[in-house]
Amino acid sequence: MKRIKILILALITSVSYAQDGLSISIYQDARLAILGDADHNIEQGTFNIVLRLKMEGKQEKYGYFIVYPEFEIANIQGTYKRYSANLGYVLNKLLIKDLELGFGIGWGWIDRYGKTMFSYAATSNLSYKINKNFKVSLLGQITERKDLAYMWGNSGLNFKENGILRFSGMIGLEYKF
């Protein structure tokens, strides 16, 4: 037990010294907000947000590594909730000053219809710094959606093994502490 406590303390210490910044982001699915999804009976203005706590590593030559837990919730039939842990890299030494391009991958789970299904996602975002604390961001996200395979009667898929990939385009704000 003592070794575990020492290991945890060493891990926390190394992570805290490696961290250069902490920010929180909120994104809204642009298509659902503006158009809805008539094919799936989702009205215009539907609430679908992603909340992200981003921990930034030290600045390197072209950018920095990030680690971020993420939570997504959508006000759709069966209330969609996705929890994930992610890691990625942000390029911030681009041709246009104050422009950042980030990439990430993550793994977690979706809760919907009283079921919990593991899921993975890949994201990319383009951010522009308004000032030292605020950024405006566009987020593109491809998510494995086993909940859709389950909801649509598996559509020939075994929802425990295979999901359906879906793209979401979001717009949001980021605040750096």
Give tens-digit pLDDT for 127-154.
Answer: 999 999 999 999 999 999 888 877 776 5
Domains held by the chain: number:
1
- Is residue 114 pLDDT above 70, yes or no? yes
Backbone CA torsion sign across 164, 26, 46, 140? negative
- Residue 59, CA distances (Å) to 100, 126, 154 in order: 13, 18, 45
Reading the block at residue 70, the tokens are: 């993420």
Question: What's the half-sphere exposure (Cβ side, CA atoms, 13 Å) at 4?
Answer: 1
β-strand partners of 80: 74
Over residues 38-55, the mean pLDDT reads 84
The per-residue pLDDT for 12 is 52
Domain-embedded: residue 168: yes
- Is residue 53 pLDDT above 60, yes or no? yes
Domain-embedded: residue 5: no
pTM of the complete model: 0.80
First to last CA, the chain: 35
The per-residue pLDDT for 35 is 75
d(C-alpha 94, C-alpha 2), whole Å:
47
Percent helix, strand, coil in the chain, to 5, is 20, 55, 25
Residues 23, 56 contacting (CB under 8 angstroms): yes
Over residues 40-65, the mean pLDDT reads 90
- Is residue 97 pLDDT above 60, yes or no? yes
- Domain that residue 142 falls in: 21-176
Q: Of 19, 31, 3, which Cα lies nearest the Cα of 138? A: 31
Buried b (16+ CB within 10 A) or exposed e, 48-73: bbbebebbbbeeeeebbebbbebebb
Average pLDDT value over all residues in the chain: 85
Over residues 68-75, the mean pLDDT reads 95
Number of separate helices (H) and strands (E) present in the chain: 3, 8
Domain-embedded: residue 96: yes
Domain-embedded: residue 92: yes
Domain-embedded: residue 15: no
Reading the block at residue 15, the tokens are: 């992570």
Domain-embedded: residue 39: yes
The per-residue pLDDT for 45 is 75
Instruction: Give the type of residue at 20.
Output: D
pLDDT tens figures, 6-38: 545 544 554 455 568 999 999 999 988 777 676
d(C-alpha 25, C-alpha 71), whole Å:
11
The per-residue pLDDT for 11 is 47
Residue 67 belongs to domain with CATH number: 2.40.160.20
Domain-embedded: residue 7: no
Domain-embedded: residue 63: yes
Out of 11-15, 74-78, 81-85, 92-96, which region has the weakest mean confidence (pLDDT)? 11-15
